[in-house]
Structure 1
Amino acid sequence: MDFVDIPLDTDLPVFLEPGAIKSLRSPWGNDISSMLQTFFDTVLRLIHSGEHEKAQRLLSSLNERNEFHLGYSSGESRGHGFGSGSAETVWGALSKSNAAVTGLLKDLEDTALLIPGIGTDMISDAVCNIIRGPLIKYTQDMCFYYGVPLTPDVASGPIWNPQQERWDHSLIPLPVTDYGKVILVPKILVRYRLSVQYDEYYRHYILPEMQDEHIKAHSPLVEVLKDGTERVTKKSLIEKYGNDKLAVAEQTKVRPNILQEYKDQKAAQPSNPLTQDQFCELEATQPPDLDPLVTELRSLPTGRDSAAKYEDIIERILSVILYPSLCNPIKQHNIHQGRKRIDITYTNESKTGFFYWLSMHYPCPLMFVECKNYGKEAGNPEIDQLSGRFSPSRGQVGLLICRNIEDKNLLYQRCIDTAKDRRGYMLVLDDEDIFSLVEEYKLNPEDQSFDLLRKLWGMLID
């Protein structure tokens, strides 16, 4: 499944990570990243302008919530919200922090570096609450997609309204269990920990800078080795200046460029999503077994009566093989006010491999898949149908998947003609190609190079 398969009675020890959100390149990713930033900017602006009561009210809605089931709880899920216990505590930490007063704090995750008492679980719960609105919409979409029943008129909880800079509330349909309502989180967004870590930042960025400064100043901390080399040890700096978050904030205040350098490097090298195997270990489930789907596909008859089943099998296979490059599958995606439909639409959030290379050279924020359960050869009408789904904003790359291709050279020549006419790029796969992708996946589930797809792409653009 596209979402984290949470237990209903406790939490999974993974976290919603701001850096993972900011690394998204899809319109949805940009929207939720903007929501995070507007909330934190609003709170800091209110604190700077002395509107402390309003700042506390905004922070109070980041109190502990149990419907996400992410975090460190070993028993019943209980949350560790930014506003847990009292919003006044968090407000006090922000309003009295030199980092906030001097403008060092710019992003929510900066608090994990510079504010004592704020850690991974609190940041994760805060993020969950701030992007609650988009996560509710995602949950509703996934429930519709997988056939999970929704209960009407469930209290939404506070939903951040970035335009009005306030929390809204409404009654909405959500899945409800014996343990309460549930809000789902995409796998692509969770990590084992935050990408920014104050001890890593201090030891590998701040302290080396301080070492150079002390050597240049010939400070008393400088030691001269037998060969005449001068050095300042990190241990001596820690003994003099400390190594807690207060020390980190104080040393960052006089070297703000180092903080930006650290954040820039983290942004340039975003952490990778968890693998299928890691999720299986977390969720105590078995790794995806594609063999039954392959067997089912081999025995599936062609024709209109089996078209929906064919589409379902293809989606289930592709969603395993192509994760995490492609995510958030949507079946029968309507475009042009419902006048056209796409069998399966994926969001391209690749960070490595074939689909990442593709995104660097061709417009493909979305990847379109058309499935044809024909007993006959696909031809120009099917190619024209898929090309009609392309646009500069949605993307111009897709997969045409059919049962059998008798003359691949002819079909690919038709795709080449379409590409040369600037009507989009189509990779055509038949059952045997799908089976080959499955075998590639079995050999190395984490490999995102997709040699078969790259080979077919080479034929397309030669």
Structure 2
Amino acid sequence: MNISEYYSLAYQQSKLDFVDIRLNTDNLLFVDPRLIEFLDTPLAKQMQKHLEIFWGELLKNVKQKSFTQADYLLSGLSEPNETRLGYAFSKDYGNSVGSKLRQRMAVTIYNNIAVKTGVLSHFADIELYFEDIGSDRISDITTKIIKSVLIDYTQEQCKIHKIPMKTFVQKDIFDIKTLKWVTRKVELPEYFGKPIIFVPKNIVRLENTAGKNVSCFYRFAIRQFVSNDTEMLKDISPTGKDGQILIRDVKSKYPLSKESLTNWTLHFGELLVDYKTDHLNGRLKTLSDDEIMEIIYDDGYSDVG
């Protein structure tokens, strides 16, 4: 049972702006802050503003060792079930930000060199440097921070498609003016008494994209920076013809690790900027309707990107 079926809409995914989620099970799609950052739309800009304000306030408090306030900010990042994205129905796989994870994240932020030096200033970059941050957790955290924007978006879509709404009490809505988590009564569509929040289809990604982003950044760093640094090549044993150092030799010497990515970003001042402007720009794409439909209408997506 998808949204379009339950509400007897005239359209399915290709004609809808939001993800036509299945309502009784997981939808293995994940909100991607990188897409939000790169999209040039009024809606994406609203979302990005929320992410920047939250992330900036969190970094400020952690740097100032105001861990009580930092923990308060992290306390609102429980797993959102209203979107039905990710592992909302699979309790064994859910990734809410519990008390232990909140403490670990705060300590990680405080101790991370990329944070201390100001290199990690954008929320979307945390997957490149933070351990234990994958598609599901990034999606959950992002969704909670932009929840107020998604609620407004859902209400607009309901008006467009004449979908009925009911009043629900929604907790943990981040208010960018007060920097507080607030509780509000809001109008939302419902499914068997449970509220539903719609997600724009142009901000979701597949589950394995987070790992690909890290490996893509790693390959870019190796090819464009590490392999051209004579100091870093000194102790590498070449396997190429006539003593030529090959890319595989460099990778063998410097295997993928987020610690290495952090150190390289500090060593090569333009690495992250060049990656995002020269490499990602033009390559970062939203999912096609076909890719989304394989997940929300079919049983799996083993053959999808």
Is 1:278 the counterpart of 2:265? The answer is no
Q: Which residue of 2 aligns with 1:389?
A: none
Shift of 1:268: 2.3
Shift of 1:241: 4.1
TM value normalised by structure 2: 0.81
Q: Which of 126, 151, 154 lines up with 1:136 in the alignment?
A: 151
Matches within 5 A, 1:120-269: 120-152=135-167, 154-178=168-192, 180-192=194-206, 193-194=209-210, 197-206=213-222, 208-214=224-230, 219-223=234-238, 226-227=241-242, 230-231=244-245, 233-265=246-278, 268-269=281-282
Q: Which of 100, 105, 108 lines up with 2:120 in the alignment?
A: 105
Give ranges in structure 2 of 5+ residues lacking alignment: 1-15, 299-305
Amino acid at match of 1:7: R
| Cα pair distance change 1:109/1:22, threshold 3 Å | closer
Q: Which of 52, 64, 75 lines up with 1:60 in the alignment?
A: 75
Amino acid at match of 1:96: N
**1:197 aligns to what SS in structure 2?**
helix
Shift of 1:238: 4.3
**Are the equivalent residues in 2 in contact too, given 1:195–1:266 (CA < 8 A)?**
no
Partner Cα separation in structure 2 for residue 98 and residue 141 of structure 1: 42
Partner Cα separation in structure 2 for residue 239 and residue 225 of structure 1: 13
| Cα pair distance change 1:67/1:218, threshold 3 Å | closer
- Percent of aligned pairs with the same amino acid: 27
Shift of 1:63: 1.7
Partner Cα separation in structure 1 for residue 107 and residue 232 of structure 2: 37
Amino acid at match of 2:261: V
Q: Which residue of 2 aligns with 1:418?
A: none
Equivalent residues, number: 281
Partner Cα separation in structure 2 for residue 124 and residue 113 of structure 1: 15
| Cα pair distance change 1:278/1:179, threshold 3 Å | farther
Partner Cα separation in structure 1 for residue 124 and residue 100 of structure 2: 20
Q: Which residue of 2 aligns with 1:11?
A: 26
Pair member with larger Rg = 1
Partner Cα separation in structure 1 for residue 81 and residue 172 of structure 2: 13
Q: Which residue of 2 aligns with 1:41?
A: 56
**1:156 aligns to what SS in structure 2?**
strand
**Are the equivalent residues in 2 in contact too, given 1:223–1:230 (CA < 8 A)?**
yes
**Are the equivalent residues in 2 in contact too, given 1:61–1:83 (CA < 8 A)?**
no
| Cα pair distance change 1:84/1:283, threshold 3 Å | farther
Partner Cα separation in structure 1 for residue 23 and residue 81 of structure 2: 10
Partner Cα separation in structure 2 for residue 36 and residue 147 of structure 1: 30
Q: Using the TM superposition, name which of 51-60 and 243-252 deviates more.
A: 243-252
Shift of 1:72: 4.5
Partner Cα separation in structure 2 for residue 218 and residue 176 of structure 1: 59
Q: Which residue of 1 aligns with 2:95?
A: 80
Amino acid at match of 2:219: R
**Are the equivalent residues in 2 in contact too, given 1:143–1:150 (CA < 8 A)?**
yes
Partner Cα separation in structure 2 for residue 119 and residue 198 of structure 1: 10
**1:169 aligns to what SS in structure 2?**
strand
Amino acid at match of 2:152: K
| Cα pair distance change 1:218/1:11, threshold 3 Å | closer
Partner Cα separation in structure 2 for residue 85 and residue 242 of structure 1: 30
**2:133 aligns to what SS in structure 1?**
coil
